[in-house]
Amino acid sequence: MRESCNFSSKNINQDKQGSADLNLTQAEFNEDKMSEECGVFGVFNADGESSAAELSYLGLIALQHRGQESAGICSNHNGDFNLHKGMGLVESVFEEKDMESLKGEMAIGHVRYSTSGSSKLSNAQPILINSIKGDLALAHNGNLANGAELRNNLEQNGSIFHSTLDTEVIAHLVARSFEDNIVEALVQSLHQLKGAFSLVAMTEDKLIAIRDPRGFRPLSLGKVDNTYVVASESCAFDVIGAEFIRDVAPGEVIVIDQDGIKSRRYTGENGTSLCVFEYIYFARPDSNIAGQNVLLARKEMGKQLAREMDVEADIVVPVPDSGIAAALGFAEESGIPYAQGILRNRYMGRTFIQPTQEIRDLKVRLKLSPIKEIIKDKKVILIDDSIVRGTTSKQIIGRIKEAGAREVHMAISSPPVEHPCYFGLDTSRRQELIASRNTEEEIGESIGADSLHYLSQAGMLKSIKTDVELGFCTACFDGDYPVDSRYLSEEE
């Protein structure tokens, strides 16, 4: 059992930036958004011919949009575990020599997104524990509603924690279980967990995939030749040439070993709460969740938005990249021409050095460039997928007006985000939800739009066509939380 870690230089720069303006410095997809997401990946390679860590590495690159703060892979060769993790992007965390050390026919991997407060290597995943029941590696996407309570109980009884991860809470429950069999100890511990968890675990000879009873976060099963793979999103299968088999079901435990796949339901709980934001923003456009392609859902939301809105305009302009799919749908439905009125600079990372001299709206200026020749003298419908704090929207609209737009009508392809999320949200930002304390008109005014339009909740839900009937978690829009309200505290 060997652990290694490294800090990429990216990380060091990142530290210097501080947290004050984190929203604007998050990497591409997650910018100015509200959730703490992660991506998990697992491989069980029945014929032992290929390297499980290499497949994980590729899978994590495909899942990179779910977390850019840290990355890790734990491999397993005949029960010999090797773990490497570090701060930064997958490509910078893993060097050739790291991959060489990650031998074995099984592996699990993780990419993590987080707020800066808890941004440190000890919070990188997977975590690896060496218990008397055997070695166990765990990687987890989600947020336990009762994580703090469980941690407190465990500490009262003498458990020592080395991270602030919910994943470590699960590890201690397993270590404390009276079950000697590590798989049974893991399943037993699930009964104590409340909230969102899509979990991939690895023992000496088994790969285990678990999804919480309400199925908050996606988790899928795939296969290539004799190799089983598990991933947060189906887009990770494509890259390694694997076929999508099916979603892991809410409340399901899948155990894969040399004897094949075994599945069971560990809970009698019913009723699902798939996070609707996966369709709006989190998931990658080429992923399918519950049978619905994400890009097409977004385009459909744009069409629906056009149907619900009544604005005359010359052009439909997306905020790149988050508004592109909806803008194309909007343009198609409304007949108003689509125009690339804003260019995104692909080379703007998160680590650039803030100059000492003041340049107004510098970050937005570096990243987004309105094209005057397209914008000038036009009535613009500006499309984005959501507004969280409103800061970026305000700066973009400002720059479009500077470029000569006659009117800017902001259209959002989801409803107003009024409530905090307890299943993946950084709750410290609750007060920052502009829609939680302002009317639509106030928001429109504060961001400088000539008018502001949101997609209705019914319209949004109608745009998503899953292959089975599903309940969604829409709590951030309507405050209707699918867990016991006593866990819904922001005090943690």
Active-site residue (options: 5, 38, 74, 235): 38
Binding of its own copies by 349 (CB under 8 A): yes
Interface positions, 236-295, toward its own copies (CB under 8 A): 238-241, 284-286, 288, 293, 295
Restricted to residues 104-123, the positions that interact with its own copies (CB under 8 A) are: 120-122
Say whether residue 313 binds its own copies (CB under 8 A).
Answer: no
Q: Closest separation between CB of residue 46 and its own copies, Å? A: 15
- Residue 77 in contact with its own copies, rule: CB under 8 A: no
Q: Which range of residues in 35-43, 325-333, 424-432, 462-470 is near its own copies by CB under 8 A? A: 325-333
- Cβ 244 to its own copies, closest distance in Å? 10
Label residues 372-385 b or e (16+ Cβ within 10 Å = b). eebbeebbbbbbbb
Pick the stretch among 273-281, 369-377, 428-436, 466-474 that binds its own copies (CB under 8 A).
369-377
310 binds its own copies (CB under 8 A): no
Listed in sequence order, the residues at least 6 apart from 105 whose beta carbon sits closer than 8 Å to its beta carbon are: 44, 45, 48, 52, 76, 77
Q: What is the spatial distance between Cα 105 and Cα 121, in angstroms, rounded to a whole number?
A: 26
When asked if residue 159 is in the footprint of its own copies (CB under 8 A), the reply is yes
Q: Does 347 bind its own copies (CB under 8 A)?
A: yes
Q: Which residues pair with 368 in a beta bridge?
A: 344
User: Using an 8 Å Cβ cutoff, are 40 and 67 in contact?
Assistant: no
Handedness of CA 31, 36, 37, 38 (dihedral sign): positive
Q: Report in angstroms how near the CB of residue 433 gets to its own copies at its nearest.
A: 26
CA distance 389 to 455: 18
* 307 neighbors 291 (Cβ within 8 angstroms): no
Q: Which helix (H) or strand (E) holds 333?
A: helix 324-334
Rounded Cα distance between 211 and 80, Å, is 26
Among the candidate windows 139-147, 159-167, 210-218, 480-488, which touches its own copies by CB under 8 A?
159-167
**38 has catalytic annotation:** yes
CB-nearer residue toward its own copies: 329 or 482? 329
Which position among 23, 64, 272, 414 is part of the footprint of its own copies (CB under 8 A)?
Answer: 64
Residue 171 exposure: Cα atoms within 13 Å on the Cβ side: 28
| 104 backbone dihedrals φ, ψ, rounded to 5° | 135, 165
Write down the least CB distance from residue 436 to its own copies, Å. 30
Number of residues that bind its own copies (CB under 8 A): 99
Among 148, 249, 261, 362, binds its own copies (CB under 8 A): 362
Q: Which of residues 136-155 bind its own copies (CB under 8 A)?
A: 152, 155
Angle (CA) 160 267 217, round 5°: 70
HSE-up of residue 420 (Cα within 13 Å, Cβ side): 17
User: Helices (H), strands (E): how many in the chain?
Assistant: 18, 24
322 is annotated as contributing to ligand binding:
yes
Among 228, 282, 338, 422, binds its own copies (CB under 8 A): 338
**388 closest CA partner among 349, 368, 418, 409:** 418
Binders of its own copies among residues 413 to 452 (CB under 8 A) are none
User: Would you count residue 357 as binding its own copies (CB under 8 A)?
Assistant: yes
476 is in an annotated binding site: yes
Positions in 1-60 near its own copies (CB under 8 A): 2-10, 13, 16, 27-29, 49-51, 54-55, 57-58
- Asked if 235 is part of the footprint of its own copies (rule: CB under 8 A), the reply reads yes
In the complex, minimum distance from the CB of residue 54 to its own copies, in angstroms, rounded to a whole number: 4
Show the binding pattern over residues 207-226: x = contacts its own copies (CB under 8 A), - = does not. --------------------
385 is in an annotated binding site: yes
DSSP bridge partners of 407: 379
Query: Nearest Cα to 89, choosing from 70, 63, 62, 110?
Result: 70
Residue 151 Cβ vs its own copies, minimum distance, rounded to whole Å: 10
User: Nearest 5 degrees, angle CA 93-CA 94-CA 99?
Assistant: 155
Does position 315 bind its own copies by CB under 8 A?
no
Tokens representing 165 are: 């991860």
235 known ligand binder: no
Stretch that binds its own copies, among 34-42, 127-135, 255-263, 482-490 (CB under 8 A): 127-135
Q: What is the 3-state secondary structure (H, E, C) of 214-266?
A: CCCCCCEEEEECCEEEEECCCHHHHHCCCEEEEECCCCEEEEEECCEEEEEEC
Q: Which residue, 7 or 266, is less far from its own copies as judged by CB?
A: 7
**Residue among 62, 44, 29 nearest 235 (CA):** 62
CB of 357 to its own copies, least distance (A): 4
State the catalytic residues: 38
Annotated binding site: 275, 322, 384-385, 421, 473, 476
Annotated binding site for [4Fe-4S] cluster: 275, 421, 473, 476
Annotated binding site for Mg(2+): 322, 384-385
